Every structure is written in C-alpha cells, then in structure tokens.
A and B are shown apart, each in its own frame.
Chain A
Amino acid sequence: MDRHILSVFVRNQYGVLARISSMFRRRGFNIDTLTVGATEDPDYSRMTVTFEGDDAVKNQIIRQLGKMPDVVSISELHRGDSVSRELVLIKVRNDKDTRQDIMSVIDIFRAKVVDYGTEAMTIEITGESSKIDAFVDLVKEFGIIEICRTGIVALERGSGSIRNKQ
C-alpha cells in the first residue's frame, strides 16, 4: 500500500474542516495526517491530507472530495516533484548521564533545543516524515515525556500553483 499526499484547496467556510473529515470518516477512509491552514487569500484554506491505500482508494478519495461544494481544487503530490515537511516538538528526559548523547543526536539531525530544564528538554525538528521517524526512534531510549507532530505540509516543486488546477 502506497502513501499518498493530497493538497486540497477549499473555501474558508463555516464547518469546512468538519465537513471534509466527516466525509473521510463515514466512507471509511483512514487519514494518517491532516493539516489545515490559511493561504495567501483569506477566502481560502489549504488542507494537506496523507493516507495509505491502493489506487482505487486514492481515486475514490479524490472523486469524493471533488464533489464537495467547498473544495475548489485537488492536487496529488508525488515524492519526486514535491517537497514535504513535518514539524515536531519532543519533550525528553534530561539527566546528566544521557545529556551528551541527546545533544549529539540533536546535532546530527540538525534539530534544536527550544526549551531546556534540568529534568527535561524540548526539541524542535523539521523534515520529511522518514527523518522525523528515525529521530523519534533514536531519542526513545532517553525517555520521551510527550510529543506533538504537526502532520505533513507539502508543496509542488516549480512555479505552479494549486489555484490554477481544476
């Protein structure tokens, strides 16, 4: 089963997030991540949805989204011709025995410490999901207190815009 990323350009209307997530739920489509945010135009928002499934599932999702009045356009983002990022905050235990090891992992992954205390530190890391997963795996042994992931945001490479697609 392949991982798919869809970028969905929607009218910034009352209930639009509920409407779209409700469609996913009732039709039994499993979402891995869903992010929503403002765009360059306040009348519209952009959603980035990631999910696993075969082509039949992907096509159904695109078609079901396509018939929703709030959806303006949909763009499928492929790995090769798009950039995707996720931002994560991870709070890990901080004690003097492991501090050096944690710092070297942070260094290797180009993450940064955004909050530091004698018992815990919060690390910010941005990157593709595979990098984040690897980082999370590595810091697990130091003791993760809590974690917050934004879900994936992605854009097509080049000069095109989702607004020009129908």
Chain B
Amino acid sequence: MCGEVMKLSGSEILIRTLIEQNVDVVFGYPGGQVINIYDTLYQHQDEIKHILTAHEQGAAHAADGYARSTGKVGVVIATSGPGATNLVTGIATAYLDSVPLVAITGNVSLPLIGRDSFQEVDITGITMPVTKHNYFVNKGEVLADTVREAFKLAMSGRPGPVLIDIPKDIQTSLYDYEPQPAVTADEKTAGDGDDISAAVELINNAKKPYIYCGGGVISGDASEEAVELAEKIDAVLGCSFMGLSAVSTDNPRFLGMQGMHGHYASSMAQHNADLIIAIGARFSDRATGNKAKYAPKAKIIHIDIDNAEIDKNISVDCGICGDVKLTLQKIIDSVDAKNNPEWIEKVSAFSAQEKEQLKLTSDMTPYNLIDVINKTVDADTVIATDVGQHQMWAAQYCKFSKPRKFVSSGGLGTMGFGLGAAIGAQIGSGKKSVLITGDGSFGMCLNELATAASYNVPVVIVIFNNGVLGMVRQWQTLFFDKHYSNTVLDRKTDFVKLAEAFGIKGYRCTEMAEFEKTMKSAFEDNGPVLIECFIDKDEMVLPMLPPGGSMDDIIVERLGD
C-alpha cells in the first residue's frame, strides 16, 4: 500500500491519514481555524461522511457513541477556542469510560500562538488531564505520523481519547506525504504466568466465587470467556455499570449491576463471597460502596490491561496485568472444574428475595416503561441514556443479549450525553437506537434534535418526565430533610411541540397502553421520534447503598415517606 511521496497541504495530509485509518464517518462543526480542513473534507466527501451536529459537545458525544457501539475509534473535529473548549466535556466523558476517540482541533497560526489571538485557546493544556495523550503539531513534517500514533494510542491497551491540535498555517503549508497502511493496536498479551498460577490456586480453593465484570470485558471482547469461566468454576456473575451488556441479562448466573444502585442479589453475593474475580474493572466507589467494608470475607483477583489500576482503589490478593481475553483463556485452561451447589443455592435465595422486593403495579412506573421498551426493541438495538434516575432504572431493568448495546456515561456522569451518543451509536451500528432520558438531562443538550432531524436518524427518544431533578431530589428526600433546593423544575417546556419545531414526530403518553402502542410504532418508524412519558416525582431508585455503607447495608424499601 505504501506508494510514492507526494507534496500535499497539511489539511490534505490529515484527511488522507484519516482515510488510511479506514475512518468513514467524522462528527464535527466548522469554524475559522478548520476551514481548510473542511475544504478538504468537501473534496473527499465520497470517502468520508461528515455529520454536522448542533454543538461541538454533541459532536464529541456522537463520536463517543459511535465508538462505544462499534469498538472503532470515533473521530470529532472542532475549530479553535470555543469550538475546542466545547469538546472538553465530551473528551472527559470518553476518558473516564475508556472510549477510543481522536479529537482534532484547529488553532491559530504558529506566529499567533501565545498572544491571546482571536479564538486562541491552549486546548492541549486544557485537555492534558482528560486525554490519554495529546499533541500540538508545531511541525507539519510530523503531522501524518502524529495522526497515526494518535489512532494507535487511542485503541491500544486501555482505550481512551487522544487530541491533536493543528495550527492553521500547518493546515495550509505543503509537506511530504507517503501513504501508509492503517495502524493496528499494540499486540495483546496474557498476564504473567506466575500471577496466573496464583489466580488459579485462589480459584481452585474458592467455594463461593463471584465474577465482577467491568467495561474492560466489553472493550477486551471477553464476554464469552467470562461466562465460560463462571460455568467451569460454578461462579455467579455481576457487573459494574460500565460492564452492562457484557453478559446476557438472561444468563441464570448473571445477577445484574452491582454497587450503589445495584441489584440486591449481586450486593449480597459479593458480601458473602469467598472470592471476587474482577475483570477489566476499576473498583470505582460507585461499584463497591465503602471500600473498607467491601467483600470482607473474600480474596480478590484483579485482571486488567492497565497496570496502574492494580492496587489503585483496593489492594488485591492477586493482580494480573494483561489482556483480559487471553488471560481468561489461560485461567480457564488451568482451573479445576467445580460445583458449588451450596453457594448457588444461597445466591438463588438472594435472587428470590429480590423478586419479592419488586412491587409491581399497572401504573406508569419506570419499571413498566422499561418493560415495554424491552419488549419492543430487538437484540441489536443500542440503548443510550442520559444521567440520573432514568439511567439507573435503565441499568437495573434493561435487557441485553449482546455486548456494546448499552451506551451511557458511567465514570463522568455527564447529563446531556445521551442524545448525541444515541445519534452516534445509530450511525455507527446501523441499527435502531433508543434514548432513555429524563426531563432534566434532555434539557441540557436537546439542540441535537436538529441533527437527528437533518440526517433522519432512527432514534426513539423516551423522556421519563417527572418535573424534577430526580436523583438529587432523592438524596434530598433521604439525607437532606426534604429540602428540595433547586431540584423542582416545573418547566413550561412542551416537549411534543419542541419535537415538532425541530421537524420530529412527538407524542405524549399518560397511560401504559398508550405508551405500548406509541413505542411500537415509533420503533418501526424510519426517522427520529420523541415520546414524553410522565412518572411520579417521588419514584426512587432502589435498592441503594447508603453513603459510606457496605453491601449489606443496602436499602431496598422506600424511605422518607
């Protein structure tokens, strides 16, 4: 594929290097310092499709949703100054959730750098703590290799966002360019043999094993291995928020999400386990509750591609740094097959208790709405969410049978993430996407309705409207004497008219039967549809681990009434 050396402009080199990496879609927004890049995009529009969003933040979230739903590197382009700063929340979101992203920003010409020129901002300085790495391209000769290195970094090891800032004079000047094949991620290797042997011994001695799947099971393509290990050693499985969709929700060993709003059975199983096997997870405070009281009876094995995660949040008995898929294959080959009937029976009893805790009614409850969504969508549908109560209900009740079907901001908890991400996920996967959102989150970045309408993106937007900022309000109910400080929205927004104003079909549902019918027809529609549903403002996300509590301090009943 390597060919002759050509003299090309920096912007031409950039776009050709993106094409080299098999990039076929980029998200972005034009501006003064990327006008040359957009001119080159115009000339290459048959090879790269550019999706124009309403706001750079939406473009960053869309590139993120694209990457999460496909496993490929998402690409976003923005101009200097405000264009670049508008990307920051999106880049930080991708960083916290280890999403491979390449963000490209223009900047003022080199002689103007450092002089507070119009729309100049030090975006490499700003994004240093929220990128895996970033580059300020001050020599055009290295531009092509910088783009290649950025892609390699974004996808290698623990994935993450990389930013490339390109001054305008570099975009316009001519440099040598020689085509190269697409870069590949660094070679994957299993963990150290001695560490694996130590893990095998711990597993062979365990009678109550619990497998904790993190987002690394999805990005490391290790879903099958995690389930195979569970079957061989007769373990139960749970997951962090980021691990959702790694294991089929129909798998009888799967207890669902663990942690602050995790399932009762998974919390109790961890509290009683004698071995926790964490795979591609980072023991986030949201996944473990109080670390000092976490899994008090258990030995802990931690497998992760990122060496810095081992012993970072929790000190473990056996840490293995390596590719999770290859490491699990070695462990599976070496461990003894086992049966732990007493353990399985005990966990089944927790699951049975959990079922009893769920009080079902026929009202428009979050559970019932999600139940309808589950029955309407198919296995390939991507479910995206915003952040708050609706997100936790989705995490608790949505059904998944394939990985990469849940797209949500876990680490950063970015309200306003959902719509852009749902659009990007739809464009990436080519399948329908459903956005579950709340009236608070949706209000933050609803301008992306324009993008959904312009490109006729088949995304079904379901707004769980309770008129309040429900998650903060829930904390105010439980821990702040019902001082509802600034959480009562009571906006005058008419979401149906809003959708129509953007050129999108909008519906309002006040009864379950109506929602069932509307959801079904919306899902069959070829374009975007918005459905507003009203839920009670006092609905709570339960179970819940109280702040500072351990897994067995779990609150399952509604308090504060």
Binding site for B on A (CB under 8 A): 14-15, 18-19, 22-23, 26, 56, 59-60, 63-64, 66-70
Contacts and interface: CB of A to CB of B under 8 A. Distances in A.
Contact of A67 (B124, B128, B129, B306): B306
A63 B310 contact: yes
A59 B312 CA distance: 9
Interface of B: 124-125, 128-129, 132-133, 135-136, 138, 153, 157-158, 306-308, 310-312, 315
A18 B125 contact: yes
Nearest to A25: B129
Given A15-B124, A18-B128, A19-B128, A67 B315 contact: no
A15 B308 contact: no
A14 B133 CA distance: 12
A64 B132 CA distance: 11
Closest 7 CB pairs of A and B: A63-B308, A69-B133, A26-B129, A63-B307, A64-B308, A22-B128, A67-B308
Contacts of B157: 67
B464 to A, nearest CB: 35
B283 to A, nearest CB: 14
Contacts of B136: 14-15
Contacts of B308: 60, 63-64, 66-67
20 contacts: A14-B135, A15-B124, A15-B125, A15-B136, A18-B125, A19-B128, A22-B129, A26-B129, A60-B308, A60-B311, A63-B307, A63-B308, A63-B310, A64-B308, A66-B307, A67-B306, A67-B308, A68-B133, A69-B153, A70-B133
A56 B308 CA distance: 11
Contacts of B158: 67
Given A14-B138, A15-B124, A18-B125, A59 B311 contact: yes
A70 B135 CA distance: 11
Nearest to A55: B311
Contacts of A19: 128
Contacts, number: 37
Main secondary structure of the interface of A (DSSP, over half): helix
Nearest to B138: A14
A131 to B, nearest CB: 35
Contacts of A64: 308
A90 B129 CA distance: 37
A131 B132 CA distance: 41
Contact of A60 (B129, B306, B312): B312
A27 B43 CA distance: 45
A159 B311 CA distance: 33
A118 to B, nearest CB: 43
Contacts of B128: 15, 18-19, 22
A50 B202 CA distance: 37
Contact of B132 (A59, A60, A69): A69
A135 to B, nearest CB: 38
A67 B132 CA distance: 9
A63 B310 CA distance: 9
Contact of B311 (A56, A66, A70): A56
Contacts of A56: 311, 315
Contacts of A70: 133
Nearest to A19: B128
Contacts of B311: 56, 59-60
A67 B157 CA distance: 10
Nearest to B124: A15
B161 to A, nearest CB: 13
A111 to B, nearest CB: 40
Given A23-B129, A59-B311, A60-B311, 11 more contacts: A14-B138, A15-B136, A18-B125, A26-B129, A56-B311, A63-B307, A63-B310, A66-B308, A67-B308, A69-B132, A69-B133
Contacts of A60: 308, 311-312
B88 to A, nearest CB: 15
B307 to A, nearest CB: 5
A14 B132 CA distance: 15
B307 A67 contact: yes
A23 to B, nearest CB: 8
B203 to A, nearest CB: 25
A78 B128 CA distance: 31
Nearest to B307: A63
A106 to B, nearest CB: 44
B230 to A, nearest CB: 29
Nearest to A59: B311
A56 B128 CA distance: 25
Q: Which of A22, A26, A63, A70 has the most CB of B within 10 A?
A: A63
Nearest to A22: B128
Contacts of A63: 307-308, 310, 312
A15 B135 CA distance: 9
A26 B157 CA distance: 22
A120 to B, nearest CB: 37
Q: Which of A60, A64, A67 has the most CB of B within 10 A?
A: A67
A18 B128 CA distance: 9
Contacts of B307: 63, 66-67
Contacts of B312: 60, 63
B99 to A, nearest CB: 17
Nearest to B128: A22
Nearest to B312: A60
Nearest to B158: A67
Nearest to B129: A26
Contacts of A69: 132-133, 153
Contacts of A59: 311
A64 B306 CA distance: 9
B223 to A, nearest CB: 25
Contacts of B124: 15
Contacts of B129: 22-23, 26
A22 B157 CA distance: 22
A26 B128 CA distance: 11
